[in-house]
Amino acid sequence: MSSFSFQNPAAVQRVGTVLILGSSAILVVFAFLLWGIVSKRYDRIDDMSQTILRSEQLVQAAQTNQLQVSLYQNDTPQLSQSEMQSDMQDLAGQFGVRLEVIRADQVEQVGPNLRMALTLNGVVPENQLGGFLVALTSHEPMIIVNSIGLRRARSTNRNQNDRLLALQLKQSSFTAQ
């Protein structure tokens, strides 16, 4: 037999209790961390499921023509593109945008409609840019801004109060065929 004996049996009991409580606390903290990770993943999966559901509903609405999007309505795509150019000139005039170049780009078939593209180059006063972009987003028929490029415009008048921005705007719209 062993001749080993404890000097203080109560100390053994305290060490055992501390070990059990410490390992239990570590397990509880680990469980909370694991629960946090798992719940974040389930939240992401739920968000993705909601996005997919909304997309499917939009596709179904578009297929059943419940989704009403305003399109240009003319006999030919060229007339629609010309109307779109005229709309952009009118809109630019309202906000002091000086259009230097309006280039009509390619017309292409997209589903049952035709997509018309325009590239606008011009100069806009910095304080009018926000209003111009807001008016563009609420324009009827719908106009999609594909890209926008801004830089500070060269100015010959240094005493000018309004800072001018050079604007390149690539946009498109749709016409019913």
Segment 43-88, tens digit of pLDDT? 888 888 888 887 787 777 666 654 456 788 888 888 888 999 999 9
Measure the CA–CA gap between 85 and 170, rounded to whole angstroms.
Answer: 12
pLDDT score, position 75: 82
Q: 172 with 148: CB under 8 angstroms?
A: no
Of 141, 133, 128, 134, nearest in space to 172 by CA: 141
To the nearest 5 percent, what fractions of the chain are helix, strand and coil?
A: 50, 25, 25
Low-confidence ranges of the chain (pLDDT < 50): 66-67
Inter-residue contact 87 to 136 (CB < 8 Å):
no
Report the distance separating Cα 82 and Cα 110, nearest Å: 19
pLDDT value, residue 67: 46
